[in-house]
Amino acid sequence: MEKLKVSDACIGCGLCVSQMEKYFEFNDEGLSHAKDVNVEEEDKKELLNIVESCPVGAIVIEEEKEA
């Protein structure tokens, strides 16, 4: 299963939050973080566009590691 990750490089521009609140939200510091939601196949194309649009490259889609 794939998950989104937002790194500490986030500057809080809000692009990801404004485009897909299903997956992103602001934390108390006004920076984006990914909600704990698995990436759904029907959303992947739009999420990849958001990943590419992040001005600081803070968003990645990663394969969730098995425990």
Residue 1 confidence (pLDDT) = 87
- What are the phi and psi torsion angles at 50 (to 5°)? -65, -45
The parent domain of residue 21 ranges over 2-63
Number of domains in the chain: 1
CATH of the domain at 21: 3.30.70.20
Question: Alpha-carbon distance 26 to 65, whole Å?
Answer: 25
Please compute, for residue 14, the number of CA atoms within 13 A of its CA located in the half-sphere on the CB side.
Answer: 3
Across the 67 residues of the chain, what is the mean pLDDT of every consecutive 10-residue run? 94 97 96 92 96 97 80
pLDDT for position 67: 61
What integer pLDDT is reported at residue 64 of this predicted model?
Answer: 78
